[in-house]
Amino acid sequence: MAEHPNSAERAYEKLRTMAIHFDFKPGERVNESALTKRLSVSRTPLREALNRLVAEGFLTAAPGQGFFCRPLSPERIMELYQVRAALESEAIIRGIARADDAQITSLCGYLDETEDAYSTCQNAAELLEMDERFHMKLAELSGNAELVRLLANINERIRYVRLVNLHQLIEQGGLAGDDQASLSMHRVIALAVQARQTEPAVQALRDHIERRSEETVDLVRLAFSRLYVPDS
Amino acid sequence: MAEHPNSAERAYEKLRTMAIHFDFKPGERVNESALTKRLSVSRTPLREALNRLVAEGFLTAAPGQGFFCRPLSPERIMELYQVRAALESEAIIRGIARADDAQITSLCGYLDETEDAYSTCQNAAELLEMDERFHMKLAELSGNAELVRLLANINERIRYVRLVNLHQLIEQGGLAGDDQASLSMHRVIALAVQARQTEPAVQALRDHIERRSEETVDLVRLAFSRLYVPDS
DNA sequence: GTTTTGAAAATTGTATACAGGCCTGTCGAT
DNA sequence: ATCGACAGGCCTGTATACAATTTTCAAAAC
């Protein structure tokens, strides 16, 4: 963890992790002096990190009142899902137009590698990481660094909700079916990209993403309950 | 301009304006102590503002070396154009699905209002502002605040290049034709949205945006020349 | 019992001082 | 003449102190 030499960067990494996991409750005020002790840095680099997180959408800042955790509302989450759909659709379009066969084959290779783990894994965090990695690799086919950067940001901001969703699916035992569907969706997308068929690929992607966003309201409610009844 | 009470916000506004206009040359190192005098703020709020601009993509930060102006490369600009296409396409899709007729009519109304000014105006900055405003209004139909926020950011980051482009078109006298094309393109897009025809609307939009991105390499070269031969 | 007022406490925003690293320019060696 | 080491100054990163504002809490008035 002592990777970064400067304390502002260290504070930023830790705070971002906390923000992703909603260690701050939605809407809650973030106390600076408490964090200085917790992270062993002074207020200057701490505030630098907090400001970065504001610009990235993890926190909000009210003048004269300091920093607050972003609210967790169904509307906001749905917005993020829509932006995600926008960015990934574009990535597919550009990827099909630009990526060479080797790159696309590499994406399919990743699916092959993770197929077994994906089917057997019962750990929500691991499943989500594999899923996210596939989507990031897909996005990287675009060769567009800005697109990738924005998508990474969006993914981090919806990660918690998706995690809670997966948790629930595993508990309900309904994961197997849904999980397989997700995996085969990835396969469908990858194959369409490989065949350079833009419309089918984009359509498959949008179906894949939109499936979740329909359940968003319930998802957010569930996420709230997990946050305020911290048993798991 | 003395709108914001806190100096960090004031510094941020001024710095962002400077960054948009490339008052810092591409790749140039930003000297903090020089800016503290220029903006009459101390280093703490100044650095806060600089960090925000880094997170927004206007500046870069090298550890131990401070802040630098973002580089101005054709690849980067093209990436931004692609992201813009992604966001606006999504906005159209969502807008058609969600906006009521009154909202769409309001968009058309804006076109009517500005039609005369658009045809006669010879001021690049004003033309660009009208164009940008149309696209922002279009984006707002989506009802997606995050989408709007990201698009606003992208627009600011390509504004300078677009401005230089318009400048050149006006000087060449070739504006009339191109300008009319642009205006009628807006009309085509708006009408397709009004008719709730998603595919044609998106297609028209992509044509409209992509037209520029083909000339990006030349555009960036021109922008460079304007930056380093400051006559205008 | 509710609301208002007031002061104290806590917290944020800003300035400034200091430490450490980076860059530059000079000097010496090959 | 070119390259490399080194010293000095400059700049960045961080800590801390101070000022101003906000929040809190309790007491008093209605």
| pLDDT level of residue B1 (50, 70, 90 thresholds) | very low
Q: What is the pLDDT of residue B227?
A: 87
Q: Model confidence over A14-59: pLDDT tens digits? A: 999 999 999 999 999 999 999 999 999 999 999 999 999 999 999 9
pLDDT at B182 exceeding the cut of 80: no
Q: Which nucleotides of D are covered by protein (CB under 7 A)?
A: 11-17, 21-23
pLDDT score, position A100: 94
Interchain contact, B55 vs A52, CB within 8 Å: yes
Contact A90 B89 (CB under 8 A): yes
User: Are A223 and A164 within 8 A, CB to CB?
Assistant: yes
Q: Check whether B212 has a pLDDT greater than 80.
A: no
Q: How confident is the model at residue B147 (pLDDT cuts 50, 70, 90)?
A: very high
Residue of B nearest to A5 (CA): B63
Q: Do B85 and A90 make contact, defined as CB atoms within 8 angstroms? A: yes
Instruction: Look at residue B175 and tell me whether its pLDDT is greater than 80.
Output: no
Please classify residue B42 by burial: count the beta carbons closer than 10 Å to its beta carbon, then call 0-12 exposed, 13-18 middle and 19+ buried.
Answer: exposed
The more confident residue out of A217 and B43 is: B43
pLDDT reported for residue A231: 55
Residue A168's pLDDT band, with cuts at 50, 70 and 90, is: confident
A82 touches chain B (CB under 8 A): yes
Decide which of A157 and A182 is more confident.
A157
Burial class of residue A152 (count of CB atoms within 10 Å of its CB; 0-12, 13-18, 19+) = middle
Give per-residue pLDDT as tens, B112-145: 999 888 888 889 999 999 999 999 999 999 999 9
Residue B75 to residue B22: CA distance in whole angstroms? 17
Measured CA to CA, the distance from residue A14 to residue A48 in angstroms comes to: 13
Q: Which of B102-111, B179-188, B192-201 has the lowest mean pLDDT?
A: B179-188
SS3 of residue B59 by DSSP: strand
Q: What was the pLDDT predicted at B71? A: 93
In the structure, how far is the CA atom of residue B197 from the C1' atom of nucleotide D29, in angstroms? 67
* Closest nt to residue B50, judged CA to C1': D12
Nearest by CB to B51, which of A51, A82, A150?
A51
Answer yes or no: is A119 CB < 7 A from strand D: no
What tokens appear for B118 in the block?
């658009």
Locus of tokens 């206007």: B58
User: Which candidate in A146, A157, A203 is best for mutational testing of the B interface (most B CBs within 10 A)?
Assistant: A146
> pLDDT exceeding 70 applies to what percent of chain A?
93
What residues of chain B lie within 8 A of the CB of A55, using their CB?
Answer: 51-52, 55-56
Cα radius of gyration rounded to whole Å, chain A? 19
Cβ contact B147–A82 (<8 Å)? yes
Binary contact (A150, B83; C-beta < 8 A): yes
- The partner residues of A62 in beta bridges, in order of sequence, read A66
Least Cα separation, residue A8 to chain B (angstroms): 10
Within 53-72 of B, beta carbons closer than 8 Å to A belong to: 54-57, 63-64
CB contact under 8 A, B90 and A80: no
Q: Which of the two residues, B19 and A182, has the higher pLDDT score?
A: B19
Q: Is residue A135 pLDDT above 90, yes or no?
A: yes
The model's confidence at residue B56, banded by pLDDT at 50, 70 and 90, is: very high
**Chain C positions under 7 Å from a protein CB?**
11-17, 21-23
- List of chain A residues whose C-beta atoms are within 8 Å of the C-beta of residue B80: 146
pLDDT at position B69 over 80: yes
Q: How confident is the model at residue B179 (pLDDT cuts 50, 70, 90)?
A: low
pLDDT at B177 over 70: no
Task: Note the pTM of the prediction, 2 decimals.
Answer: 0.93
| Over residues A142-147, mean pLDDT | 98
State the residue for tokens 């408490």. A34
Number of CB pairs < 8 Å for A and B?
82
The mean of the pLDDT values for chain A is 91
A51: chain B residues, CB-CB within 8 Å: 48, 51-52, 55
Q: How far is the CA of B84 from the C1' of D24 (A)?
A: 47
Smallest Cβ distance to B79: which of A9, A56, A145? A145
Nearest-by-CA chain A residue for B49: A51
C-alpha span between B224 and B227 (Å, rounded)? 5
Residue B166 has pLDDT above 50, yes or no: yes
Alpha-carbon span A51 to B210, nearest angstrom? 34
Cβ–Cβ under 8 Å, residues B161 and B77: yes
Q: To 5 degrees, how large is the angle CA B191–CA B196–CA B200? A: 65
Asked whether the predicted pLDDT for residue A180 surpasses 80, the reply is: no
Question: What average pLDDT does the structure give for chain B?
Answer: 91
H helix intervals, chain B: 7-20, 32-39, 43-55, 74-98, 101-120, 124-140, 145-171, 175-194, 198-214, 216-228
Give the pLDDT band of residue B171 (cuts 50, 70, 90): confident
CA distance B209 to B216: 11
Q: Which B residues, 129 through 148, put their C-beta within 8 Å of a C-beta on chain A?
A: 142, 144-147
Reported as a pLDDT band with limits 50, 70 and 90, residue A67 is very high
pLDDT of residue B16 exceeding 90: yes
pLDDT at B82 over 90: yes
Task: Kindly determine whether the C-beta of residue A31 is less than 7 Å away from any atom of nucleic acid strand D.
Answer: no
For B127, counting Cβ atoms within 10 Å of its Cβ (0-12 exposed, 13-18 middle, 19+ buried), the class is: buried
The whole-number pLDDT of residue A1 equals 45
CB of A61 within 8 A of CB of A67? Answer: yes
Work out the pLDDT band at A216, boundaries 50, 70, 90. Answer: confident
Q: Does B99 touch chain A (CB under 8 A)?
A: no
The strands making up B29-30's β-sheet, listed across from edge to edge, are B29-30, B66-69, B59-62
> CB neighbours of A202 closer than 8 A, spacing ≥ 6?
A89, A92, A93
A79: contact with B, CB 8 A cutoff = yes
Region A86-115: what's the mean pLDDT?
Answer: 96
d(CA B85, CA B204): 11
Higher confidence at residue A17 or residue A177?
A17
